[in-house]
Amino acid sequence: QVQLVESGGGLVQTGGSLRLSCATSELTFSLYTMGWFRQAPGKERDFVAWINRSGDTTIYTDSVQGRFTISRDNAKNTVYLQMNNLKFEDTAVYYCAASLLVRGGRNPREYEHWGQGTQVTVSS
């Protein structure tokens, strides 16, 4: 069973920042494109950001564009999500996911492996 392990979630005030990390030791990490998704209570799992294999192409959902930055370090088998200027509506469980597709994946079904999730709570 492939494991993706997220960390870095927590409680932060509106306008604050958090940096999420997602690490794995069980994938040939550089072969996978990586995505971040989030799921609020009672809602579907939504796409947040995607990064290609080399890290030079990224895609964001409109609501986080300009506030969040996805990056990766293939030497450390880790993908990051820097979240700045957090808003109350960013509150959710955040998941990282790995896909063998080379194009940007907004659909959760396009991902083969998922982490367990990390809670991000933004207080207003």
pLDDT digits (tens, 9 = 90+) for 94-119: 999 999 998 888 999 999 999 999 99
What is the C-alpha separation between 4 and 96, in angstroms, rounded?
A: 7
Given pLDDT bands bounded at 50, 70 and 90, which one contains residue 26?
confident
Given pLDDT bands bounded at 50, 70 and 90, which one contains residue 76?
very high
What is the C-alpha separation between 97 and 35, in angstroms, rounded?
A: 5
- CB-based burial of residue 5 (10 Å sphere; 0-12 exposed, 13-18 middle, 19+ buried)? middle
pLDDT at residue 85 greater than cutoff 90: yes
Residue of higher predicted confidence among 70 and 25:
70
Mean pLDDT of the 88-92 span = 97
